[in-house]
Structure 1
Amino acid sequence: MLEDKEQKRTSLERLGEFGLIEHLTQNFELNHASSIKGIGDDAAVLDSTEYKTVLTTDLLVEGVHFDLSYMPLKHLGYKAVMVNLSDVYAMNAKATQITVSLAVSNRFPLEALEELYDGIALACKMYNVDLIGGDTTSSQKGMLISVTALGQVNEEQISYRNGARPNDLLVVSGDLGGAYMGLQVLEREKEVYKVNPNSQPDLSPYSYIVERQLKPEARKDIVELLAKLEVKPTSMIDISDGLSSEIMHLSKSSGVGCNLFEDKIPLDPTVISACEEFKMDSTLVALSGGEDYELLFTVKQEDYEKIKGNPNLTVIGYMTEANEGTHLVTRGNHKIPLTAQGWNSFSNSEEE
C-alpha cells in the first residue's frame, strides 16, 4: 500500500495520444490467423472465417469496480482482460482478440500505465489473445478501463443461456466465495492502514482468497475440458454477480426452475475459515458474493458419466419445471426461494 515517492514520473503530455498508444503497445504481437491488421491504422481488420464471432465488452471505473489503494496496476490490467475473456468462455467459445480503451487523469504518469499494460500483456500471453486496438483519452478524475473481447466458435457449439431443460444437471467449475472474502480482507487492511500507515499487513494466511480478488483466472481450461469430454453445455453463464443471480438468469432465460443443494456448493477451506473470522455465512457468501469468474452451466443427464469425479467440476443441483421455481435446498432439507441479491447483498442499505 505504501507509495514510493521517489519513483520516476513521466507526464503523459510529453507523448501525446498517438505516441502514448504506440509506446504502450509496441511489444504486442499478433498470433491469430484471423488478426489481419491490429494497432496502427484507422481500424483493425479481422478475417471472417468459417467460425461465428462472439463479442463482449465491459467498463471498469475506479472507485466503483476497483480500488487502487490495494489493487496493483499490473493486477488491474490482468483482471480487466479476465473479466471479458470469462464472458467469451461462457459462450463455449475460444477468445482470440481484445481492444483496450483507457481514460486517465493527470495524476497517472507514464510509468503507471506501463504497469497496467504489463498486466494486459501477461493476460494476452497466458490466454493467447491478440491486442488489436483501443483508445486513450483524459479523464477529469480517476481511471476508466473499457475492454472488448472477441472469440470464435462453431455455430453448433455455442452455449446460450436459454438452452437448459427440466432434469438437466446444474454444474459449476472451481469453488465459490473466494473473491468476495478476499475483498473483505483487503478492505479491512485498508482501514487499518488509514489508522496506522506504518502497519504492514500479513496477508499470507489469506493468499488464496486475496489472489481470487486481485488476479482471477478466466476458465479457458473448462471450455477445453468440455470439448475433450465431448460434453456440450445446454446453457452456460459466468459467475460475476454471485451464484444465486446467475442461476436465476439461466432459469429465466431457459424458462425452467432449479433446485440448488446447499451441501453441494464447492467452498475452499480458506473461504470457510475467513467466513468464520468475519462472522459471515459461507453459503450466503457463495450465493451473493460475485467476481468468482467460474463457469456455471447445465448438461443433459446422460452426460453425467463423462463429468462425474472430475476435480474441476461439481454438480450442485438440477433444473425443474418453471412452475416449481428456483430454490435452495438447505442441509436440513428445507426449500428456500432463491433471490438475486448479487453484489449489494452485504451492504447496510436497509439500515440507512
Structure 2
Amino acid sequence: MEERTEINSLGEFGLIDHLTRNIEIHHAGTVLGVGDDAAVIDHFGKQTVVSTDMLVEGIHFDLMYTPLKHLGYKSVVVNLSDIYAMNATPTQILLSLAFSNRLSLEALDEFYEGVYAACERYNVDLVGGDTSTSQKGFVISVTAIGEVAPDQYVKRSTAQKGDLLCVSGDLGGAFLGLTILEREKQIFLENPKIQPDLENETYAIGRQLKPEARPDIVEFLAEKGIRPTAMMDVSDGLSSEILHICKQSEVGCVLYEEKIPVHEEARALAMKLGLDPTACALSGGEDYELLFTMKQEDYDKITLNEQIAVIGYMTDAAEGAHIITRGGSKHAITAQGWNAFK
C-alpha cells in the first residue's frame, strides 16, 4: 500500500515549502523568486510578455486517464506555447492550484515532478503562485512570463494579403489520442474488469498527454532573419485559429487540404477509427504547433526545414477564408474547433 500524507497535515506555508524545496533558478533576470510577497524580475531592456491559462478538471483534463506527472508537464507547456506564439522566449512561470482532500501530498508531488521537468526542458524558473482548497475537483492556473527584443513580438492582427500561411509540425494527433482515451474510459466505466487497450498508439496518446511547445521554430525563424507577419499557437484546431488570424488581420485566405501536415501514424489511426484525418487536423486542437504568416520573399529560407509546412496564402478579406480539397473543390472554412463553453 502506498504511503498517503494528508495535505492538511502540513498547513499552507508548510505545503509551499515542501513543493518548492527543490527550485533551481536559471535566469539572471530572476532577482527574487518564491518565498516573498512577490517575485522580482529584471528584463535588462527587453519587453515583457505575459500570458495565463486555467485548466479545470472535467473540462480540460480527466484524471481517469491523465497521469499527474503528465498533467504537471502539460500545464506548463500549454502556457509556454502562448509565449512562443508571440515570438518571445519564456523565462518564468507562476503556478496556482486549488484541490480537494481527495489529493494526497504524494499525488501533488507527482504533479510537481512534471512541472519541474517542463521547467527544466524549457529553461524557465518557477517564481511563485498560490494554493487553495477546492470543494471538488482540481484547478490549475499557470501564468507565463517571457521576454522579447523591443518590438519584435508578433501579433495575430498583422497578416497581409499575399503572405504565405505556414504551420509547424503536424496536426490532428492530439485529438486522435484523446479519442482513444475517451473510448477506453467509456468501456472501462461499463465494465471495470476490461483492461484498457490503447492499441500501441503511443504517438497520438503522447501528443494528447504530453504535448511539446515549439521553441525550435522561434529560434529557427530568428536565425534566418524571418519575422512572421502574424502568429498564434494551435490550441483549438487549425480552422478556428486561421479564422482568428483572418478576422483580426482583416484578410481572407486559401488553404490547401493536401498541404496540411498529418503524421503517418495519426493518418492510419484516423482511418482505423473511421475519421477523416483532415477533419481531425482542422477541428481537433491541442496540437500546440505554431501557425504563422510570412512574406513570400522569405520562402527560400524555410524550404529545407521539414518542420515547417506552407499550407496556403492570405487574400483580400472580401474573398473570405476557403479550403481547396484534394479533389479540387472549394469550401468556406468554418470554426469547429474545441470550445470550453459548449
Q: Deviations over 1:183-240 (max 9, x none)?
A: 0010111122223323333435310000000000011111111111211101000000
Say which SS state the counterpart of residue 328 (structure 2) adopts. Answer: coil
Number of the residue aligned with 2:77: 82
Number of the residue aligned with 2:116: 121
Number of the residue aligned with 1:140: 135
Q: Deviations over 1:23-63 (max 9, x none)?
A: 00110111111110000001111114210000000010000
Number of the residue aligned with 2:327: 332
Determine which of 230, 237, 245 is the counterpart of 2:225.
Answer: 230
Say which SS state the counterpart of residue 157 (structure 1) adopts. Answer: coil
- Whether 1:200 aligns to 2:190 is no
Q: In the aligned structure 2, how far is the partner of 1:201 from the partner of 1:107?
A: 24
Number of the residue aligned with 1:73: 68
- Whether 1:160 aligns to 2:155 is yes
Equivalent position amino acid for 2:280 in 1: V
Q: Is the 8 A contact 2:95 2:140 kept in 1?
A: yes
Number of the residue aligned with 2:101: 106
Number of the residue aligned with 2:56: 61
- Whether 1:323 aligns to 2:323 is no
Q: Deviations over 1:87-124 (max 9, x none)?
A: 00000000000000000001101000000000000000
Number of the residue aligned with 1:287: 282
Number of the residue aligned with 2:174: 179
> How far apart are 1:162 and its partner, in Å?
1.2
Say which SS state the counterpart of residue 200 (structure 2) adopts. Answer: helix
Determine which of 34, 44, 49 is the counterpart of 2:44.
Answer: 49
Q: In the aligned structure 2, how far is the partner of 1:281 from the partner of 1:155?
A: 43
Q: Is the 8 A contact 2:164 2:293 kept in 1?
A: yes
Q: Is the 8 A contact 2:4 2:104 kept in 1?
A: yes
Equivalent position amino acid for 1:166 in 2: K
Q: In the aligned structure 1, how far is the partner of 2:115 from the partner of 2:7?
A: 19
Q: In the aligned structure 2, how far is the partner of 1:309 from the partner of 1:267?
A: 18
Equivalent position amino acid for 1:305 in 2: D
Identity of aligned residues (%): 59
Q: In the aligned structure 1, how far is the partner of 2:180 from the partner of 2:212?
A: 19
Q: In the aligned structure 2, how far is the partner of 1:99 from the partner of 1:323?
A: 43
Determine which of 213, 216, 219 is the counterpart of 2:214.
Answer: 219
Number of the residue aligned with 2:92: 97
Q: In the aligned structure 2, how far is the partner of 1:220 from the partner of 1:309?
A: 18
Say which SS state the counterpart of residue 201 (structure 2) adopts. Answer: helix
Across the two proteins, how many residue pairs are aligned to each other?
342
Tell me which stretches of 4 or more aligned residues in structure 1 moved more than 6 Å.
Answer: none
Q: Name the TM-score, length of structure 2 as normaliser.
A: 0.97
Equivalent position amino acid for 1:127 in 2: Y
Determine which of 237, 246, 252 is the counterpart of 2:241.
Answer: 246
**Residue ranges of structure 2 left out of the alignment (5+ in a row):** none
Q: In the aligned structure 2, how far is the partner of 1:332 from the partner of 1:206?
A: 30
> How far apart are 1:308 and its partner, in Å?
1.0
Q: In the aligned structure 2, how far is the partner of 1:165 from the partner of 1:217?
A: 29
Q: In the aligned structure 1, how far is the partner of 2:114 from the partner of 2:160?
A: 40
Gap change, CA 1:131 and 1:344, over 3 Å in 2 = closer
Say which SS state the counterpart of residue 210 (structure 1) adopts. Answer: helix
Q: In the aligned structure 1, how far is the partner of 2:260 from the partner of 2:115?
A: 32
Q: In the aligned structure 2, how far is the partner of 1:110 from the partner of 1:204?
A: 33
**Residue ranges of structure 1 left out of the alignment (5+ in a row):** 1-5
Q: In the aligned structure 2, how far is the partner of 1:344 from the partner of 1:216?
A: 19
Tell which deviates more after alignment, 61-70 or 277-286: 277-286
Q: In the aligned structure 1, how far is the partner of 2:226 from the partner of 2:201?
A: 35
Number of the residue aligned with 1:3: none
Say which SS state the counterpart of residue 133 (structure 1) adopts. Answer: strand
Q: Name the TM-score, length of structure 1 as normaliser.
A: 0.95
Q: In the aligned structure 2, how far is the partner of 1:172 from the partner of 1:60?
A: 25
> How far apart are 1:344 and its partner, in Å?
5.3
Q: In the aligned structure 2, how far is the partner of 1:84 from the partner of 1:114?
A: 20
Say which SS state the counterpart of residue 155 (structure 1) adopts. Answer: coil
Say which SS state the counterpart of residue 20 (structure 1) adopts. Answer: helix
